[in-house]
Amino acid sequence: MHTQVLFEHPLNEKMRTWLRIEFLLQQLSANLPIANHAGALHFFRHVGDLLDVFERGEVRTELLKELERQQRKLQAWVAVPGVDQSRIEILHQQLKTAGSVLISAPRPGQQLREDRLIALVRQRLSIPGGCCSFDLPTLHIWLHLPQAKRNAQIEAWLASLEPLSQALTLILDLIRHSAPFRRQTSLNGFYQDNGEDADLLRLMLTLDSELYPQISGHKSRFAIRFIPLDSEHGLVPERLDFELACC
């Protein structure tokens, strides 16, 4: 059985931001519960990165636009014969609910931005070793609180991200399932094609080739180069089969 590795590459800035937010949200939940300095710094570093991403653009506006766009796309399927109408209705309701929850929630990250402990740790993270107990006695005492108290505080922080997280998960799920994987072949480690207004490339490679894709391009045209992990001795086969979905 060959192990398959999935690579995803955004074809526009909006998708790039969404994939980064998804990655950071996954990282926030990866090391819970927090019981020591290492776990705490992993968590606070990713909270800081998430707030930086939120500050760079209109994340909520873009998500609301996309929820509407996906509803319009669903509407086009209603008239197609043989389509599962109940499935379309469920998705339509989910998109509608996610939109109304997101629009009535506070600005993404607002609760985290206003939290004193998060602000203190965030200030020190850019200093090498700047989160020592003498630098951050606040964090030191927080780590000595009862575990249940820390858990409750982290749950409240994560709950404040839930409206954004639910909308994003729904959108990315619909985009990822909007196109099937098709078998393609690269010649001498190179492949190019038209993106046809796609948002996201999804590429599946077998692990035994020990190659990774270097992707460049945008929604109308893209190119893929396959590079050996071992840059000195690795070989790129003349013909390489891989699976590709343009979503």
Residue 193 has pLDDT above 80, yes or no: yes
Residue 171 identity: I
Contact 51, 109 (CB under 8 A): yes
**pTM reported for the whole predicted model:** 0.92
Residue 195 has pLDDT above 80, yes or no: no
Confidence of residue 87 (pLDDT cuts 50, 70, 90): confident
Residue 1 has pLDDT above 80, yes or no: no
Nearest of 142, 140, 149, 158 to residue 31 by alpha carbon = 158
**Span between the terminal Cα atoms of the chain, in Å:** 27
Mean pLDDT throughout 116-139? 92
Place of tokens 């840059």: 231
Cα-flanking dihedrals φ and ψ of residue 75, to 5°?
A: -60, -35
Residue 218 has pLDDT above 80, yes or no: no
Distance of CA 67 to the CA centre of its chain: 16
> Which pLDDT belongs to residue 101?
95
> Which pLDDT belongs to residue 236?
87
Strands ordered across the beta sheet of 190-194? 4-10, 200-206, 239-246, 182-187, 190-194, 221-228, 211-217
> Which pLDDT belongs to residue 165?
96
Residue 93 has pLDDT above 80, yes or no: yes
> Which pLDDT belongs to residue 56?
87
> Which pLDDT belongs to residue 131?
87
The full set of domains in the chain, from first to last, is 31-177 (1.10.3900.10), 182-246 (2.60.440.10)
Lookup: tokens for 27: 């990282």
